[in-house]
Structure 1
Amino acid sequence: MKSLLIALYAATAVAAPTPAMTPVAIDTYMRDALEATGLPGVSVVVTHGGKVVHAAGYGHDSQGRAVTANTPMRVASVSKSFTAIAVMTLVERGKIKLDEPVAAQLPGFRMTDPRAARITVRHLLNQTSGLSDTTVDIRELDSSTSLADYTARLADDGLRADPGTRWEYCNVNYNLAARLVEAASGQGFGDYLREGVFGPLGMKSSAVSDQVVKPADGHNSIFGAWLPRPELPAFLNDSGSGGVITTAADMGKWLIAQSGNGHPLVKRQSLETMHTPTDLRDYGMGWGLDQETGQLTHSGNLFTYTAVEAISPKTGYGIAVMTNSAALHDDTYDIMLGLTAMSEGRTPDRPGGGRHLFELVLGVIALVALGLGTVGVVRARRWAALRTGKPWWRTGLRLVPMIAPAAVLAAYPDLLSFLMNGRTVTWAQLTYFPAPMSITLLVTALAGVLVAAVRICVLRWGGPGRSSSPAGPLRAPVPGRN
């Protein structure tokens, strides 16, 4: 694998840009993408070798200001590649030992699980430490006030697997790595990034704190309407897993450096180490590898922002797409794939439609549930009349489909957590970009519970206006009579 990457890096130096990847062509594609996706705002940068081909912004922020290449946005987990290179700069200086235990290099790091003493720095960056959302208290960690506080709160947590034996995506790995940068450098993580990464690259509008760089307001899509919302409170400032705020213009400088051009932050060997996947997963250090194309990518998803970065050692192109919004469908990745196709001389697919389709289907389901619920309540007496004299358990079975959505709603966060391989999901999170799905489930559950409750009341007590006559509304119908 390493020889493949070296060959691809070598090809970068001689790769020629395809005619299609001109600023005009990219701009045309992006304007079409903005129209097709309906995103409130998006910024993009495309690099080739050591040059920026095109950097621009499209759409508007919540204040009606035009999004430009200099509009700051949160890039979420794209931050991990920045944390990884910060660590590697200290590895090259002998301040951090990549294959030595973290516990021996990070004062204050301890866990109840004795296996944690075997976690190395490489394990953290490769996401193979054994740390998991299922074995640490993510809610407690999200209320941390600093990386030191965050690290201390891990003391009563454990591991899911032996270090080095299982790949699992877990933000704790990169927040520990950020704390390690602080311990090794004697500086705050944000200060070290500013002086050791952002500064040397000329990324003047980048930071890991919204107290330093104010990002554009984020948005959520609620059945097609974009609503501006503050990002969900969590451990974001100085976070190594998702704290970076940057611009398309700055990301251009970053992509050039990650492609092995421009200002070298680390030696070529260190860059290759970051980009080389493990045997457990096609994931290096803050970068995933597409085995078919050789393209390196990493996406980022917060609750009101999405982003993606990609570099292709084969073609020499780098791409970053950032939006001030989050929805059930990630349009940034589709846009990146379209730009990748252009860079390879292929015709890109028109992005968009995924969010519209998902939310349309969910909206229709909610309206149907509301309609069926109304009919169910109106026809409660007729239903109860048909159930009179029937065994109670048969009546109970008839009610199960009505209350099933409520049972799903009660288990909603845990169910999604299971489907996401144990990633922690909270009720607060479900009110952000998953809101259309949450609203649909809530409407369906309430409609079902209301119908079941009304039918039980009518069956048991007859409900308002019940007749005392044997021929009243609860009397079973007589065959042959109108």
Structure 2
Amino acid sequence: MERTPLTRHLTAVLLALGIATAGLATTAAGAHAAGPNPPAAPTPEAIDTYLADLHQASGVPGLSAVVTHDDQVVHAAGYGHDANGSPVTADTPMRIASVTKSFTATAVLILAEDGRIDLDGRVTDQLPELRMVDPRVDEITVRQLLDQTSGLADTSVDVADLAEATSRTDYVARLHDDTLATDPGTTYAYCNVNFDVAARLVEVASGQSFGDFLAERVFGPLGMSGSATRDDVVRPADGYTSLFGWWIPREEPRWFDDTGSAGVITTAADMGRWLIDQTGHGPALVSPAGLEAMHTPSGVGDYGLGWHTEDDGTRWHSGFVMTYRAVEWIDPATGYGIAVLTNGTGLTDVTRTALDGLIALTRGEDPEPAAGTRPLDLGLAAALLGSGALGVVGVRRAPRWATRRVGRARWATGLRLVWLALPALVLVLLPALATFLTGGRTFPWPSLLYLGLPAVLMLLVAALAGLAVLGSRLRALLRRPVGSAA
């Protein structure tokens, strides 16, 4: 079949969509083991130069980072500004999203070592309010919540309904009509519900709100004075989303406080204290055995208790919400720890890029040169403008196109029309496509309109252009003289 200009453009749209939605996935920074001779330690100046260059190249409004080694902070600093124009520093609070899961796991381990939670006991024995229509819920252990092998998955629960919860009690109650995707303990599936249920268990076992427990047993002992789980206690810097390279201040959607999956607000300086503790050099919130358990994979997947694990011994976790990204990483063998926070989200993840570069520096290697996203931004903007232009041209030329169809086979004409509806179909299926590309994570439309706004707008224009041309061509075909039908 002959490829029309609009068909060629559709191919470009789909390619760009693949790049954009793939950027929504949460991935780890690749790493390789260091050689037998220890590398030269990175200097604060080298780290600062790299981060300053990356901030400038990426264009992200605010970026903060910390590098620790054993019990020392090697470098902690901030770059850029918030929506009010205030400079971002190592003490600027930001949401760290799913990095919160490591803190939730620590809270559970503390209570387990206090004898108030049975890590390998059934959740429903310790949290009777947890009920589901699936009887297998009674088989889930607390450990399986933390290593995400409980059987809970985004595909088996009503994520949109849970997002409407007004409290953690309400959140757990809304699970009553949901099911499990698999038998507990058989499959790893990343699902926020695991940690929000675990946070409710912390409340029941401790008699405190989840945020208060973290403040007393985690933040306080570590000296994390700039950390909390509620923005009325610690207000994070205002966040941004990127639109074709322009950073737009946007409010973070509201949800109930103290979420165990994504609620922590903290600073790069405080994350330094956390990383020192997680490499075994802090005040020891949990025993060495507890720390080892957190960093050990389940055997079903490569996830420990609130930490992803790698074959080279490194541990990490990343996170994103609508206008913030964060990542943490530790190497217990070398004692290094890294955390990167930003108050801007776009189609690329600058925290991941920063982590890769900082890991290289800790290993005596040269990081990849800092690169921006301008080519991608320009490409998406050009695709959007091109879609609109092709739509205008297609509508104006519809009568001439219909005239050329005289004598052509109906099936050929039909194929030329069906292709025009494809961008609209992709747009409608975009949440499902994002779920497929990210291995089962749920991305409702509000998330896509923050994280992938340029791609969504590009697809919207392509869809409208395609449908406009389709309608014009059908109308032109129907207006042809009766004797000229193909």
- TM-score calculated relative to the size of structure 2: 0.89
The match for 1:306 is 325
In the TM superposition, 1:350-389 aligns within 5 A as 350-353=369-372, 355-389=373-407
1:303 to 1:475, Cα distance in 2 relative to 1, 3 A: same
Unaligned stretches of 5+ residues in structure 1: 1-14, 463-467, 477-482
Query: Could you tell me which amino acid in structure 2 is paired with residue 280 of structure 1?
Result: V
2:299 corresponds to which of 245, 265, 279: 279
Deviations 1:211-239 (A, max 9, x none): 2111111111100100010113344x210
Verify the 8 A CA contact 1:129 1:162 in the aligned structure 2: yes
1:220 corresponds to which of 241, 244, 254: 241
Verify the 8 A CA contact 2:346 2:451 in the aligned structure 1: yes
The match for 2:55 is 34
1:315 and 2:328 equivalent?
Answer: no
Q: How large is the Cα RMSD of the aligned pairs?
A: 1.9
Query: Could you tell me which amino acid in structure 2 is paired with residue 242 of structure 1?
Result: A
1:242 and 2:265 equivalent?
Answer: no
1:347 and 2:340 equivalent?
Answer: no
Verify the 8 A CA contact 1:380 1:458 in the aligned structure 2: yes
Deviations 1:328-385 (A, max 9, x none): 11110110111111111111112333x3343333222222222222221221121011
The match for 2:190 is 169
Aligned-partner SS, 1:432: helix
Deviations 1:236-281 (A, max 9, x none): x210000000001111110011010121101111000000012122
The match for 1:120 is 141
Aligned-partner SS, 2:333: coil
Deviations 1:83-103 (A, max 9, x none): 000000000000000000000
Matched length: 450
Q: Distance in 2 between matches of 1:415 and 1:86?
A: 35
The match for 1:101 is 122
Query: Could you tell me which amino acid in structure 2 is paired with residue 126 of structure 1?
Result: D
Verify the 8 A CA contact 2:166 2:255 in the aligned structure 1: no
Unaligned stretches of 5+ residues in structure 2: 1-35
Q: Distance in 2 between matches of 1:49 and 1:418?
A: 40
1:399 and 2:399 equivalent?
Answer: no
Q: Distance in 2 between matches of 1:262 and 1:272?
A: 14
Verify the 8 A CA contact 1:315 1:343 in the aligned structure 2: no
Q: Distance in 1 between matches of 2:378 and 2:460?
A: 16
User: 1:17: Cα distance to partner?
Assistant: 8.5
User: 1:16: Cα distance to partner?
Assistant: 11
2:282 corresponds to which of 253, 262, 265: 262
2:433 corresponds to which of 415, 431, 438: 415
1:111 and 2:132 equivalent?
Answer: yes
The match for 2:217 is 196
Q: Distance in 2 between matches of 1:111 and 1:213?
A: 35
Q: Distance in 1 between matches of 2:133 and 2:420?
A: 45
Deviations 1:293-316 (A, max 9, x none): 321110011111000001111211
Verify the 8 A CA contact 2:134 2:179 in the aligned structure 1: yes
Q: Distance in 1 between matches of 2:436 and 2:363?
A: 38
Q: Distance in 2 between matches of 1:323 and 1:452?
A: 43
Verify the 8 A CA contact 1:315 1:344 in the aligned structure 2: no
Verify the 8 A CA contact 1:331 1:352 in the aligned structure 2: no
Verify the 8 A CA contact 2:120 2:143 in the aligned structure 1: yes
Q: Distance in 1 between matches of 2:284 and 2:156?
A: 38
Deviations 1:426-468 (A, max 9, x none): 1222211200110111011111101111111122236xxxxx9
Q: Distance in 1 between matches of 2:38 and 2:88?
A: 27
1:329 and 2:343 equivalent?
Answer: no
Aligned-partner SS, 1:103: helix
Q: Distance in 1 between matches of 2:303 and 2:330?
A: 14
Q: Distance in 2 between matches of 1:366 and 1:63?
A: 31
Deviates more, 1:59-68 or 1:18-27: 18-27
Deviates more, 1:91-100 or 1:367-376: 367-376
In the TM superposition, 1:419-434 aligns within 5 A as 419-434=437-452
Verify the 8 A CA contact 1:276 1:284 in the aligned structure 2: yes
Verify the 8 A CA contact 2:40 2:363 in the aligned structure 1: no
Q: Distance in 2 between matches of 1:358 and 1:166?
A: 36
Aligned-partner SS, 1:308: strand
Q: Distance in 2 between matches of 1:403 and 1:97?
A: 55
1:48 and 2:69 equivalent?
Answer: yes
Q: Distance in 2 between matches of 1:460 and 1:173?
A: 56
Aligned-partner SS, 1:273: helix
Aligned-partner SS, 1:192: helix
- Of structures 1 and 2, the larger Rg is shown by 1
The match for 2:201 is 180
The match for 1:144 is 165
